Amino acid sequence: MWSTFLMFAWKNMTRRIKTTGPLFLCVLVSVFAIVLVWSSYDMAKGGVELSRTRMSADVMVYPYETELDDASMLYSGIAQSVYMDADIIGRLSNGYAERVVSQFYLQTLPTAGCCTVMEEMRLVGVDWEEDLTVRSYLKGADIDTLDMQEVILGGNIDIETENTMILNMPVRVAGVLETTGTYLDDSIVLSMEQLRQLAKVNFPASYFGGRAPMDLVTCALVELKEGVDPQEYIRSVEDVQARKVLISSTADTVQDEIMVLFRLLAGTAAVILLLCVAALFSQMQALIHSRYREIGYLRSIGVCRRDVYKMFVLEIGIIVLAAGVLASAAGLTAARSVIEWIRQYMSLPLGGWSGGAILVHFGGGLLLTVSVSAVSAAVPLCRAVRMPPQEAMTRGEL
């Protein structure tokens, strides 16, 4: 019986393409808009929260000369040839600080050759034992020490694990980081000592302003003692000539920016949804009205009301679910592109997406599809099926 209903539904759909087509489009556009905004928002919000949770540092310190804003420095970590003296670490370590660690950024040379890293990539030197940011993102088992010639790859780095050379040094991949949506995804992490040595060998001294790389750091990350007010700490290191960023307030600012942007997008999506739902109502009405005679005829040959319902629910279900599946999948795919696009204009961490999150958003898209379609189809369908067969037969087409 279901095969008959299915065949009936399919034939009806394909031969009434002028009615079913717009219906399909309405569902497609509305669900796509909602899934796109919802997924993008969750992805961005997840990225901020992940960064905030994982990053145990409270304050970030970096040179005044860096041409980046706080959020960009925190999330994009764009490697710039701007360094500060390493002795700043000692001056930042006062009674308020639990520990102070430094990072040294560099980039691979833009040369290509056999067994070398082909593209210019960011290198991040860290003090692995004391690290406050990178280590918490490590996939799999923790690594106690990061030996010389060992590297950790960011989530987006795709290079061979064997025979890889970085700055003319053969390296071994010791681990891979989770995708964070921050600069770490496109970075290769080495021990800071190793990276400074590579910098000394491969880059001219002028690159570091004539100073020795061993005496320089790119930034410092400070973890404060329990209960210390970050503002108080910043006041206590006022004399240190570097820019100090409160990590939590920067994350709040980014989150606020995300909220403003996504409120705008959500508003647009809501308007699209409203317009599409209005169109959907009208399309459903038209679809069912044009079938009165068919309903009447089916009833006249003894097909019971429940089976007529089934037939129409199946037909409408095929159209809207096909549109819903397509819209949800497209919305999820496009969300990533939207985030990337937004990141070009503002510093935005991008949370990694688990299979569960994808399922939730996909399922949400389908739920929205079913709800909107059920609401718009219920009234005209009930009215049509409850109509006396004779009245139904004198209206609509077969």
Partner 1 sequence: MAGGHIKIDNVSKKFTDLMGGENPAVDRVSLDIRPGEFVCLMGPSGCGKTTLLRIIAGLLEPDSGELFLDEEPIHGPGCERGLVFQDPELFQWMNVEQNVAFGLKARKVYAQQKENVQRYIDMVGLTGFEKALPHHLSGGMQQRTAFARALINQPKVLLLDEPFGALDAFTRVALQERLIDLWKNFGYTAVMVTHDVEEAVVLATKIVVMSDRPATVEKIFDNDLAYPRDRDSSASIALKKDILNVLHLKNGFPNTL
Residues that bind partner 1 (CB under 8 A): 1, 4, 11, 15, 296-303, 307, 388-390, 393, 398
Three-class DSSP labels, 137-152: HECCCCCCCCCCCEEE
Residue number with CB closer to partner 1 (168 or 300): 300
- C-beta of residue 19 within 8 angstroms of C-beta of residue 285: no
What is the distance between the alpha carbons of residues 115 and 160, in angstroms, rounded to a whole number? 9
Output the smallest distance, CB 18 to partner 1, in A.
16
Cβ closer to partner 1: 1 or 114? 1
CB of 301 to partner 1, least distance (A): 6
Those residues whose C-beta lies under 8 Å from the C-beta of residue 226, and which sit 6 or more positions away, are 98
In the complex, the smallest distance separating the C-beta of residue 9 from partner 1, rounded to whole angstroms, is 12
CB atoms within 10 A of CB 223: 17
Q: What values do phi and psi take at 278, rounded to 5?
A: -60, -45
Nearest distance in Å: CB 279, partner 1 = 27
Pick the closer one to partner 1 by CB: 147 or 397.
397
Helix 2-15 × helix 17-54 angle, to 10°: 100
Distance of closest approach, residue 14 Cβ to partner 1, in angstroms:
9
* Shortest distance (Å) from residue 363 CB to partner 1: 33
**Residue 302 or 356 with smaller CB distance to partner 1:** 302
Nearer to partner 1 among residue 71 and residue 295 (C-beta): 295
The DSSP secondary structure of 53-99, one letter per residue, reads: HH---SEEEE-TT--S-HHIIIII----S--EETTHHHHH-STTEEE
Nearest to partner 1 of 35, 311 (CB atom) = 311
Least spacing, CB of residue 373 vs partner 1, in Å: 24
Contact 332, 39 (CB under 8 A): yes
Query: 305-343 vs 292-300: helix axis angle to the nearest 10?
Result: 140
Query: Cβ(116)–Cβ(165) under 8 Å?
Result: yes
Q: Supply the minimum distance, in Å, between the C-beta of residue 303 and partner 1.
A: 5
Nearer to partner 1, 359 or 398 (CB): 398
Measure the CA–CA gap between 102 and 239, rounded to whole angstroms. 19
Comparison of 227 and 302: residue with beta carbon closer to partner 1: 302
Q: What angle do helix axes 305-343 and 355-386 make, rounded to 10 degrees?
A: 140
Q: Please, what's the largest Cα pairwise distance for the chain? A: 96
